[in-house]
Amino acid sequence: MEARDTEFFQKVGGAFAESMASVFSMLTGRDFQLTSAPGDTLEPPAVAGLFSATAILVKANYQKGLNGIIFFALPLKEGTMLVDLMLGGEGAPADELVGDSKDALAETFNQVMGSANQTLSDLAGETFAIANVDILAVAPDAAAFAEHLGQGSFQDIALPTSQDNLSTTVHLLFPDLLLQQLKRKLGLAETVPPPAPAPAAPAPQAAPSRQAPVASGPTHDQGNLDLLLDIQLPVVVRMGQTEMQMGELLKLTPGSILELNRSADAPVELLVNGKLIAKGEVVVVDGNFAFRITEIDTRAARIRSLG
C-alpha cells in the first residue's frame, strides 16, 4: 500500500471510528471501543458476501463539499441490539427495525456523520455536510445489495465494534468516485507530473525604455484578509448543553424541562463557526433577544480560531 493510501485510511478510518465510538457511548451510556482497518475493494455481490443474514444498509447523501452517497453496512441483529441499548434496554435483538427504533438508528448515524464530517472538514479546510440518512433492511443476496448500492466498486473500511453485550463489525463503503473526491480534498490523491515545457524561442530585443514607477498598494496578506471579510459565518449563542440517552430523547413532550450544565449566573457563550470567541449576557432590545458582549478574544486570536 502506498504511503498516501495509508495516510488516507488512517485519517478517514480514524475519524469515523472515533466519531462512532463517541456517539454510541454517549447515546447508550456505555463504553464502546472501535478501531479501523482498510478492507478490500468490493463489488456489490462481494458486499453481500460479508453477511450471512439480513443486514442494515445506512445511506448518507452528501450535499456540501462532496457529491455522492456513503454507506454503512452492519448485521440487522447487532443493529437492533444497539438500538435497544440506546432505548435503555440491555441489548436485546429484534427480528426487524421499524418505527421509533428505525428513527433512533437514523438519528444515531446522522450524529456519527456530523461528528466525522467536522473532523474531515478541519483536515480539508472545507465544509462537508450530508442532507439526510436513510435506513434499509437488505437480504443477504447479490441482487438485493446491487439494487440499493448500484453499480461500480466500493472501498471498504472495516470498523470493528465492541462493548460488553455487543460485538460486530460496521463496514464503511466508499463508492470509487466519492473516494477519489475525498482523497483530492485531503491532498492525498495521486499526482501526475506535468509534461516538460518546450524550449522557449529567444525573445526579440526591445528598445530600452524608462521603467514606469510601481504604485504601492496593500500587502498580499492584507489582500487575502480583505477577501474573507464578506464571508457569512454561522453565529450561535449557547446557554448550556447536556447529554441524554436516545430513550430519554424520545420521551420528551411539550412541557418537559431539560437541565443544562451551566448555572443561572454563568456567562453565555458566543460561538462563530463552532468556535468560542466571546462571552456575555442575554438582554432584550426592542422586544427581541440580543447578546451583550462582556469578554472577547483579540482580533488576531479571532482570525486564528476561525482559520
Domains of the chain: 3-185 (3.40.1550.10), 234-305 (2.30.330.10)
Return the pLDDT at 246: 78
Return the pLDDT at 219: 45
Instruction: Kindly state the percentage of the chain with pLDDT values over 90.
Output: 51
Q: 158: closest CA among 39, 15, 12?
A: 39
Q: Is the pTM of this model over 0.75?
A: no
Run of H or E including 207? none
Return the pLDDT at 297: 81
Q: Are residues 90 and 164 in contact, defined by beta-carbon separation less than 8 angstroms?
A: no
Q: Are residues 124 and 185 in contact, defined by beta-carbon separation less than 8 angstroms?
A: yes
Q: What is the pLDDT of residues 67-80, one digit of tens each?
A: 999 999 999 999 99
Return the pLDDT at 197: 62
Q: Are residues 109 and 24 in contact, defined by beta-carbon separation less than 8 angstroms?
A: no
Return the pLDDT at 220: 45
Return the pLDDT at 216: 46
What residue ranges of the chain have pLDDT lower than 70? 1, 190-231, 305-307
> Which amino acid is it at 52?
S
Q: What is the pLDDT of residues 138-190, one digit of tens each?
A: 998 999 999 999 888 999 999 999 998 899 999 999 999 999 999 999 998 76
Return the pLDDT at 194: 55
Return the pLDDT at 9: 92
Return the pLDDT at 186: 93
Residue 246: strand, helix, or coil: helix
> Which amino acid is it at 35?
T
Q: Are residues 87 and 101 in contact, defined by beta-carbon separation less than 8 angstroms?
A: yes
Return the pLDDT at 210: 53
Distance CA 51, CA 44 (A): 12
